[in-house]
Structure 1
């Protein structure tokens, strides 16, 4: 089975969003595999050779940031968040859709402005030359990545999130 056939069979998204979701999930999977290997090597080094991997904590923190923020737009696009629907049967379908639209707008606006503030902090970090303690990795680039993925998340919520709310069949 070719990669194109596999992606077409396993991803419901259409067009370039399908490949963007696949690429982001490949990034997250590769980082998760790296974190697993790093942890194994670090633990084996500690117990077998009495020497751990220098900077393993820093690499783990950076890897977690990359992995989480790579998946956040995909989860948002698919509507994979936790949803509490206790009152959906009590409220009418129009009110549920209106509340869903309001929630999508609040979430997307919040993520956009959060990304703006995070990007400002990243620029400040780069200007000041802030680096990690042991490995000397500039933290500003990771923080910029977090800001950009926050913007992708905001775009995913405002575009497809609202589309899903408007086209859903609420009972």
Structure 2
């Protein structure tokens, strides 16, 4: 089951982040080339880059959490008994799950406000609400990833997301 979850995350949030980064690369190429040789940049290029950065950063969060590629402070881990370390890891995962769920809830509230007020980007007039909903959804997925680690049986030496962040 965990292998299926890994594959699902790679093909959903990972692909979303990769597509966003790839698009930023091409947008930057066209923007700089247009400015240099045609005296015109891509209209709304900054706004597009900002939205694409949301896709890259928030799309990568579930994968970073799933693979344990975040910053970990483990200098004192050798002093902690294995049982206590397991309890500590599960508590840290629970706090992370709660934090990401809380942030997701706050972003849903903000997205609803954006939708009610009709907030848009300045130049291209894109609605901001779908971007905030995307952020909230990806934060919720990240929260669920951490929740999986709270209940996942651990083996010795394992800790995909184990360790204090």
Q: TM-score of the superposition, structure 2-length normalised?
A: 0.89
| Aligned position for 1:18 | 7
- Residues 1:168 and 2:155 are matched in the alignment: yes
Structure 2's unaligned 5+ residue stretches are 159-165
**RMSD of aligned residue pairs (Cα, Å):** 1.8
Q: How does 1:4-83 map to 2 (within 5 A)?
A: 13-15=2-4, 17-83=6-72
Aligned to 1:5: none
Change (3 A) 1:89 1:16: closer
Equivalent pair of 1:93/1:170 in contact (CA under 8 Å)? no
Runs of 4+ in 1 over 6 A off after TM superposition: none
Greater relative contact order (Cα < 8 A, sep 6+): 2
Structure 1 residue 17 displacement after superposition: 4.5
Bigger drift between 66-75 and 115-124 goes to 66-75
Aligned: 1:109 with 2:85: no
The range that moved more, 87-96 or 146-155, is 87-96
Residue 107 (structure 2) pairs with residue 118 (structure 1): yes
In structure 1, distance between residues paired with 2:95 and 2:15: 29
Q: CA distance change for structure 1 residues 66 and 87 in 2, over 3 Å: closer, same or farther?
A: same
Alignment deviations for residues 49-89 of structure 1 (CA, whole Å, 9 cap, x no partner): 11111111100000000111111112212222221111111
SS at match of 1:83: coil
Shift of 1:121: 0.3
In the superposition, the TM-score normalised over structure 1's length comes to 0.86
Structure 1 regions of 5+ residues with no counterpart? 1-12
With over 3 angstroms needed to count, the CA separation of the structure-2 counterparts of 1:17 and 1:88, relative to structure 1, is closer
Query: Is 1:149 aligned with 2:138?
Result: yes
What do residues 88-144 of structure 1 show as CA deviations (whole Å, max 9, x unaligned)?
111211221111111111110011011001100000001000000000000010001
